[in-house]
Amino acid sequence: MLERSTQFQRLEAPGLVHGFTTRLGGVSEGSFASLNVSAKRGDAPARVEENLRRICEAGGFARDRLARVRQVHGRVAVAVDALGPEVEADAIWMGAEHAPAVVSVTTADCVPVLIVEPAARRAAAIHAGWRGVVAGVVPATLEAMGASAQDCLAAIGPCIELAAFEVGEEVAAHFDARFVSRDHGPKPHVDLVAAVRAQLEGAGLAAERVERVGGCTHANPERYFSYRRDGASTGQALSFVGFID
């Protein structure tokens, strides 16, 4: 059900919880089978809620501590205490003053990024699609949370990888050439994982403090949801992090 960062698990940070969900271990059916966390594409809300309950139980925190936001493929990062029905953002962060809280994002190919600053008890969950990466959602989040980047750890979760992420020339033009490959077919492919890693390192995180967790969502249908592979009727995964102590 959950994939976790090894470096986060080794932290001596009381109350830290985190995880990247797979599609395994839930109750949703059909194209949403089985651990879908969103009802916006037609899954039964009761099943989604049961899936969320199971995730929270496996993560070791109460359901009412889980914070979510309406995602829009931008660069806005909001504090957990600023969330509301009309708020739109692509990252949520929390500090020691907000605990207990668990921040989260949903994905189905886009890159989920979890950041922890252990000493300050700060954490963030980031949804980084290609538009968000181009807009700089990763450095924007570090700035918004007031993090000391050199003291942070980051985990990049399951997402679409280079071999599967074919794009048009108009999308490829937004990326530095080092993140664009022309070795996988007639159209360019973009390496979102490398682009996100570069943004983290460019913001001040040492390379060894950035961990890749999980595999390619598109290439593993039995384990992950993928919008690119299955279309709008697929489910979504949850990535979460926070301090509950």
CATH number at residue 56: 3.60.140.10
Helices (H), the chain: 6-9, 45-59, 130-135, 137-144, 169-172, 192-203, 227-230
Domain count, the chain: 1
Structure tokens at 62: 């109460």
pLDDT at residue 66 is higher than 90: yes
Q: In what order do the strands lie in the sheet with 237-243?
A: 2-3, 16-21, 237-243, 101-107, 66-67
Query: What letter represents residue 181's amino acid?
Result: S
Q: What does the pLDDT look like over 134-162, one tens digit per residue?
A: 999 999 999 999 999 999 999 999 999 99
Q: Kindly report the backbone phi and psi dihedral angles of residue 81, in degrees, each rounded to the nearest multiple of 5, phi listed first.
A: -80, 0
Query: What pLDDT digit, counting tens, does each position of 202-219 carry?
Result: 999 999 999 999 999 999
Q: Give the C-alpha separation, 226 to 230, whole Å.
A: 6
DSSP state of 70: B
Say what the pLDDT of residue 81 is. 98
Phi-psi region of 204 (alpha: psi -120 to 50; beta: other; left: phi over 0): left
The tens digit of pLDDT for each residue in 88-119 reads 999 999 999 999 999 999 999 999 999 999 99
Confidence of residue 128 (pLDDT cuts 50, 70, 90): very high
What's the token pair of residue 107?
A: 């994905």
- Asked whether the beta carbons of 55 and 65 are under 8 A apart, the reply is no
Q: In this predicted structure, what is the pLDDT of residue 75?
A: 98
Q: Mean pLDDT, to the nearest integer, of 14-30?
A: 98
Amino acid at 46: A
Contact, 36 vs 51, CB < 8 A? yes
Distances, alpha carbon 209 to alpha carbons 120, 156, 197, in Å: 16, 11, 10
pLDDT bracket for residue 245 (50, 70, 90): confident
pTM: 0.98
Return the percentage of the chain with pLDDT > 90, whole number: 100
pLDDT confidence bin for 171, thresholds 50/70/90: very high
Domain that holds residue 175: 2-243
Average pLDDT value over all residues in the chain:
98
Q: How many CB atoms lie within 10 A of CB 214?
A: 22
For residues 23-48, average pLDDT: 97
